[in-house]
Chain A
Amino acid sequence: MDKYERGERMNLKNLPDDEYFTPGHTACPGCAAPIIVRNMMKILGKDTVIYTPANCLLVFGGTYPYIAWKVPYFHEAFENTGSSISGAARALKKQGKKVTVVGIAGDGGTYDIGIQALSGAAERNEDVIYVCYDNEAYMNTGIQRSGSTPYGAETTTTPAGKKILGKLRHKKDMAEIMRAHDIPYVATASISHIADFLKKVEKMKNIEGFRYFHVLSPCPTGWRYDPSKTVEIARKAVDSGMWTLYEAEYGEITNIYKPKKKIPVEEYIRGQGRFRHMTPEMIEELQRWVDRKWERLYGEKP
């Protein structure tokens, strides 16, 4: 019987007080990314090495000469998070050190620019953790569309104007691409579901091989909502089916969270400035996409 079955797993009550990502960082008020990394680091602990390519977290987590991380922290180029963490993990293994190597990239660094290095590292089954914090656009450079931006969302490169009304294509399903790599662990999470989030972080810490962890990270600046609503919006994303929480081991979904009551996608997009221009037809199209995804993942009609 392992400790999960005994019910000794990490929960909000016994989550350590230790902070490996210090206050004083310069993230926008209400940013979800520090919530994700702070709490993740409480479980991963001090024997961790962090790699980040260009993203907001890189800037607000370390602006010369200040660093918010209390663990070794490296900045590498945008496209090679996968290969950097592969090399670091192998070097540390050769030295006989037991260290968790973590690469944290945004959606741009994962979906678009970093996908080849990521795919290679996953295919080689390197012993690393890859975290994608997904805020659905290139927020660091001023909100440009990425492969992760959902249909209809307004960004500076998909403006709601006379010719187009926001992004024309749907969000790419990155976690599914990673699931197809037949790796030991793929998990999607949301800060709105604390127990689920902590369980997944703790589980992935103790697995050997390539682990892919994908967290939705609402962005008050880019999504244009009130900063206090960050967690509420993350929760609505899960409840509407825009974001699905599951775990997959070697390509098989082993655990999937189903919202008790599915809310219409309209309820999720309300209050987010990036969707404000959406017409009823566009909302219907987004709903159809959510329903298709729902049917594929749950194997039943919503």
Chain B
Amino acid sequence: MYEIRFHGRGGQGGRMAAEALALAAFLEGKYAVSFPFFGAERRGAPVRAFTRIDDKKIRIKTQIYEPDYVVVLDETLIETEDVLEGLKPDGMVIINTQKKPEEVKLSRSVRCATIDATTIALETIGRAITNTAILGAISRATGKIGIDAIEKAIIEKFGARLGKEAGEKNAIAARKAYEKTIVGIAKAGKKFEGKKQWLPTVDELPLGGSIGTLQTEAGLVGIGSFSENKTGGWRVFMPVVDEQRCTGCKICWFYCPEGAIKMVDNKAKINYDYCKGCGICENECPFKAIEMKREVRI
């Protein structure tokens, strides 16, 4: 049996990828199970999905804690959590990034495959949804599942949901990724501090009252504390303001769902710590002063 854990963001299709991989294994005559894990989170928030594949019936139903392979659909996730947690010593990590495996820095040195799935998805499907491209990379990097089965599974699974044409485009994305995947060894050296939690006792909380804003060992809690949650990692495209064209009309400032636009000297200034890259500002700017550009993360 081998186990695969997917790390993605809500809406990127981690769950669909895990399910399509299970279907591909099934098409090859294997047994497979797949399920997602997420909390009360929206699109863009970190989520996990799991796939187990075996030659015989699978009885184990738990989440995957010691995977053989880890798949990362969004490279910003390797900055915020240790994706290698529990990965077997001879395991492998497959990351969607523009970097080469040797340029990727993780918590330890590990076999690593990289693929620029976002570019492939944008070119082939027209949207930055990378779940099908990454499946091609999994096929190449692991060598455990044939690309033909992957393609068939994608056409069946995605075709049923999005229409035949979209299913075929997604299969092409997987094939392209299969051809472009690079396998190597990632560098060690990234440090992760264990995330502290704020777990007050009953005595520390005012019964039926408000705690206001508190500085705790887990960071800020209470009213207004969400400002510590930097959502900038969610975006694929970033808005760039052309100050020559900006007239300070405040329309983008009104429309930014994140409140990430501030008016400074009558010009729009974007706070990239929070911008999720929705693109409303570009779409609504009457003077075409904002342009969404593909973000290159180094």
Pair A65/B222 contact, Cβ less than 8 Å = yes
Pair B250/A12 contact, Cβ less than 8 Å = yes
| A277: min CB distance to chain B, Å | 11
Name A5-34 residues within 8 Å CB distance of B. 12-13, 15, 17, 19, 21-34
Query: Closest A-chain residue to B45, C-beta based?
Result: A26
> What residues of B have a CB within 8 angstroms of the CB of A143 in the complex?
none
> What residues of A have a CB within 8 angstroms of the CB of B258 in the complex?
23-25, 34
Q: Of the candidates A13, A29, A71, A231, which one forms a contact with B250 in the assembled complex, judged by CB atoms under 8 Å apart?
A: A13
Q: Of the candidates A21, A32, A39, A63, which one forms a contact with B254 in the assembled complex, judged by CB atoms under 8 Å apart?
A: A39
Give the interface of B toward A (CB within 8 A). Answer: 10-11, 40-45, 198, 210, 216, 218, 220-231, 234-235, 249-251, 254-260, 262-263, 271, 273-274, 276-280, 282-284, 292
Pair B283/A231 contact, Cβ less than 8 Å = yes
Pair A228/B282 contact, Cβ less than 8 Å = yes
| B64: min CB distance to chain A, Å | 23
**How far, in whole Å, are A28 and B277 apart by their CA atoms in the complex?**
10
Q: Does A59 sit within 8 A of B, measured CB to CB?
A: yes
Most buried by B among A19, A59, A67: A67
Name A46-79 residues within 8 Å CB distance of B. 56, 59-63, 65-73
Name A71-128 residues within 8 Å CB distance of B. 71-73
Query: Closest A-chain residue to B162, C-beta based?
Result: A273
> What residues of B have a CB within 8 angstroms of the CB of A30 in the complex?
257, 276, 278-280
**How far, in whole Å, are A29 and B234 apart by their CA atoms in the complex?**
8
> What residues of A have a CB within 8 angstroms of the CB of B273 in the complex?
23
> What residues of B have a CB within 8 angstroms of the CB of A284 in the complex?
none
Pair B42/A66 contact, Cβ less than 8 Å = no
**How far, in whole Å, are A23 and B278 apart by their CA atoms in the complex?**
14
Q: Does A293 sit within 8 A of B, measured CB to CB?
A: no
In the complex with contacts A26-B44, A29-B278, A232-B283, A70-B224 CB distance below 8 A: yes
**How far, in whole Å, are A208 and B45 apart by their CA atoms in the complex?**
40
> What residues of A have a CB within 8 angstroms of the CB of B226 in the complex?
22-26, 61-62, 66-68
> What residues of B have a CB within 8 angstroms of the CB of A24 in the complex?
226-231, 258, 274
Q: Of the candidates A27, A35, A226, which one forms a contact with B42 in the assembled complex, judged by CB atoms under 8 Å apart?
A: A27
Q: Of the candidates B10, B40, B41, B254, which one forms a contact with A12 in the assembled complex, judged by CB atoms under 8 Å apart?
A: B254
Q: Does A209 sit within 8 A of B, measured CB to CB?
A: no
Query: Closest B-chain residue to A56, C-beta based?
Result: B42
> What residues of A have a CB within 8 angstroms of the CB of B262 in the complex?
17
Pair B271/A23 contact, Cβ less than 8 Å = yes
> What residues of B have a CB within 8 angstroms of the CB of A59 in the complex?
40-42
> What residues of B have a CB within 8 angstroms of the CB of A68 in the complex?
224, 226-227
| B164: min CB distance to chain A, Å | 14
> What residues of B have a CB within 8 angstroms of the CB of A171 in the complex?
none
Pair A29/B223 contact, Cβ less than 8 Å = no
> What residues of A have a CB within 8 angstroms of the CB of B220 in the complex?
66
**How far, in whole Å, are A17 and B256 apart by their CA atoms in the complex?**
13
Query: Closest A-chain residue to B239, C-beta based?
Result: A228
Query: Closest A-chain residue to B198, C-beta based?
Result: A65
Most buried by A among B220, B225, B250, B273: B225
Contact flags A211-245 to B (C-beta < 8 A → 1, else 0): 00000000011000011111110000000000000
| A42: min CB distance to chain B, Å | 9
**How far, in whole Å, are A230 and B225 apart by their CA atoms in the complex?**
27
Pair B283/A66 contact, Cβ less than 8 Å = no
Pair A23/B227 contact, Cβ less than 8 Å = yes
